[in-house]
Structure 1
């Protein structure tokens, strides 16, 4: 991006002023109201291919939207001699004569007027933008200038990679910290200084403030291992069941950390307009999904539905009851893939005569079936493979290899895919075609693994730094990995990021 000005932009301003930029920025980038966001969602399509594709640009000389990837905006600029366009994702101006994004102080001031402080275009500020195509915006360039600790991140950079010192059986914490600090949209939130502390005068007790400092440490460019003693102290203080130097469960730590983060930043953005009972903090915006439970009366087919918020999906790996076993499968069937686990998780379950419910229509206790589906998908989906089995006097670890894909489509497991016969339509879920809706597709970006037995073990984590670069985090040691290493690992926690982000 050029920061030295552009003669073509200067000539455009001299002829038409800055109103074209102000209007486009107001309606299609800043979107200050819900109505403006709805208008943007309906209007932002490429006028050539009619796709709501990534990196949409708006011509500054006429009413035309064109996609950058297919070069429709380039073709428009060449044919119409309209050389300037605005990137609707980042609000930056591109000059097709200079063949570069250009900087202008007047346009920067206009952009800043829509916000009290410089921010990245994050949650609710764009539609249908894949998380993996991360590039610095003009706002971020200004932040980089003001803070010498910040560094530009590009496709070859290793900024963000940093080991964590084990403070005594704290590998369970280190691997979750690695997963969170490499969660793309959470990273962008903290690097844009979006956090406003809800504990004035007590910021040292705020876990969100500590996470903000942690992100600064990770992306400062330092290569030496970080010592997360303040984070450990705050976790011990706010989740006392995790205090002490005994080995803890990484999944339990994840849920506890999200809970404390949620409590400490609750109210930052007010309450959700669509659901007054749902907090609109950054944790809920990213991690909270809606799990729908449909209980159907066997007598009258009356369906009772409840929807509960969830931060993760826990999936059984052991042999399920007969209702969950696939046709022609042995009686001791155990799922061997994430898709099989999800299919079993969302299949109807007969509750039996010992668990009769009082039907609201029959007004009597009847047998019923229960089915779980996803009503609302989170931005980040975390799948917990239940490898640790605890029963009276019996504890064991399930080390069965469970395959998981690099890309996952959750469409078959949505409530909207449930048919009227308390099941899913007859599609082959075990081999999901790539032609399904892109809106529910996810990309893998972190995998937490447990090595060893239930008594003695160690946690490590694979993280994706860029689109095709994977690294293994083993406390203070960071080594390069391949996607094959990741997909062949004994996954315990699987983190997927939605490929397309949309307005509520």
Structure 2
């Protein structure tokens, strides 16, 4: 991408951020789902810094075991240490390890970027937890990277009662807590159940917004007829009202828009190209907290195409107040106004299939800065 790289450097000119690198990623045959997510994670700066620190501490350890985390650390280190400001890197080591670890990503078929993101974050958590356990079992043979994880202080919804799971830097960046409240309409007793999340999957409607999707996500649902709730206090099935609220907002809020809907009479998934407006600044009003946490959009994974089994993924990333367009090995600068072309189409039949699919928001500090 020699010419493209110089074009981007010329576009930024003196505003090219000190020490930053903008590199495209080579596509190894339908690996755009992987490339688009990797670009977003690289420009999630707190996450990137932790990956680089992990790899720096781990690479000099005797016979480190290669896994997805070390491969990701190797890729991020390659990008950040390049002498040239722009160019192309082939994430072959990472992709090969991904295919070896999970047969879902082994074929050359079109894969889902959201599914890949979920798998990668959970796999990193598993690796850190195993290393922490190994470090406690045999401190003499543990690698320096295992000191990076925090002591367990809070519990996972799925962690069980035996031991409290590790709170890793993946949790610190991406994990939030939902509370599911059910109120019995007979005795008014409220039952609350907490569950953790790395992203929120939202149903979408035509000509809507992220704010309205979040409002629907937290709307009150009445449980009656065959869906009655078993109330422990009444010791019987009762009509009840249920709602979901965000108990603890994450530092990085990942919103997955459910653009693929299963059509039963056709026995296939259909893509919803609905227009869903995503704001640059977002307030979370459906939280347990009194204050409304504020977020700022910093990245979008876009799905291009008419259906889930074919198409393409690109990513839009905000870096140092500039929006960048990453399409595999191509990187360009775009105007902020261009972002609205990825909201979706207000009409059912449209040639515009470049639709925002996964949104990434960073939590702003009380003063309004991230």
Normalised by the size of structure 1, how large is the TM-score?
0.58
Q: How does 1:202-241 map to 2 (within 5 A)?
A: 203-221=64-82, 222=84, 223-241=86-104
CA offsets, 1:170-222, max 9 Å, x none?
A: 10000000000000211222344576559x76635222222221211221234
CA offsets, 1:333-375, max 9 Å, x none?
A: x461000100000111113311122101111111222111111
Q: 1:355 and 1:169, CA in 2 relative to 1: closer, same or farther beyond 3 A?
A: same
Partner of 2:153: 273
Q: 1:499 and 1:347, CA in 2 relative to 1: closer, same or farther beyond 3 A?
A: same
**Larger-gyration structure (1/2):** 1
Task: Give the conservation status (yes or no) of the 8 Å contact 1:290–1:374.
Answer: yes
Q: How does 1:97-176 map to 2 (within 5 A)?
A: 156-157=16-17, 159-176=20-37
Aligned match for 1:406, one of 280, 283, 298:
280
Partner of 1:246: 109
Task: Give the conservation status (yes or no) of the 8 Å contact 2:55–2:73.
Answer: no
Partner of 2:125: 262
Partner of 1:339: 211
CA distance in 2, matches of 1:194, 1:404: 34
Task: Give the conservation status (yes or no) of the 8 Å contact 1:238–1:260.
Answer: no
Q: How far has the Cα of 1:239 moved from its partner?
A: 2.6
Q: How far has the Cα of 1:383 moved from its partner?
A: 0.2
Q: 1:205 and 1:407, CA in 2 relative to 1: closer, same or farther beyond 3 A?
A: same
Partner of 1:185: 46
Q: How does 1:319-398 map to 2 (within 5 A)?
A: 334=206, 336-392=208-264, 393-398=267-272
Q: How many residues align?
A: 312
CA distance in 1, matches of 2:54, 2:366: 21
SS in 1 for 2:23: coil
Partner of 2:339: 486
Unaligned residue ranges in structure 2 (runs of 5+): 1-13, 133-145, 156-162, 343-354
Q: How far has the Cα of 1:280 moved from its partner?
A: 1.5
CA distance in 2, matches of 1:282, 1:487: 32
The structure in which a higher percent of residues are strand is: 2
CA distance in 1, matches of 2:287, 2:263: 32
Task: Give the conservation status (yes or no) of the 8 Å contact 2:154–2:167.
Answer: no
Q: 1:247 and 1:402, CA in 2 relative to 1: closer, same or farther beyond 3 A?
A: same
Q: How does 1:378-457 map to 2 (within 5 A)?
A: 378-392=250-264, 393-410=267-284, 412-416=285-289, 437=292, 440-454=293-307, 455-457=309-311
Partner of 1:288: 175
Normalised by the size of structure 2, how large is the TM-score?
0.78
CA offsets, 1:36-95, max 9 Å, x none?
A: xxxxxxxxxxxxxxxxxxxxxxxxxxxxxxxxxxxxxxxxxxxxxxxxxxxxxxxxxxxx
Q: 1:241 and 1:201, CA in 2 relative to 1: closer, same or farther beyond 3 A?
A: farther
Aligned match for 1:462, one of 316, 326, 330:
316
Partner of 1:496: 361
CA distance in 1, matches of 2:113, 2:223: 31
CA distance in 2, matches of 1:208, 1:494: 23
CA offsets, 1:371-421, max 9 Å, x none?
A: 1111111111100000011243142100011111111111x110235xxxx
Q: How far has the Cα of 1:162 moved from its partner?
A: 0.5
CA distance in 2, matches of 1:210, 1:194: 9
SS in 2 for 1:225: strand
Bigger mean CA offset, 452-461 vs 201-210? 201-210
Q: How far has the Cα of 1:299 moved from its partner?
A: 1.4
Q: How far has the Cα of 1:487 moved from its partner?
A: 3.5
Partner of 2:197: 310
Q: How far has the Cα of 1:241 moved from its partner?
A: 2.1
CA distance in 2, matches of 1:472, 1:203: 35
Task: Give the conservation status (yes or no) of the 8 Å contact 2:263–2:270.
Answer: no
SS in 1 for 2:108: coil
Partner of 1:85: none
CA distance in 1, matches of 2:289, 2:186: 24
Q: 1:398 and 1:270, CA in 2 relative to 1: closer, same or farther beyond 3 A?
A: same
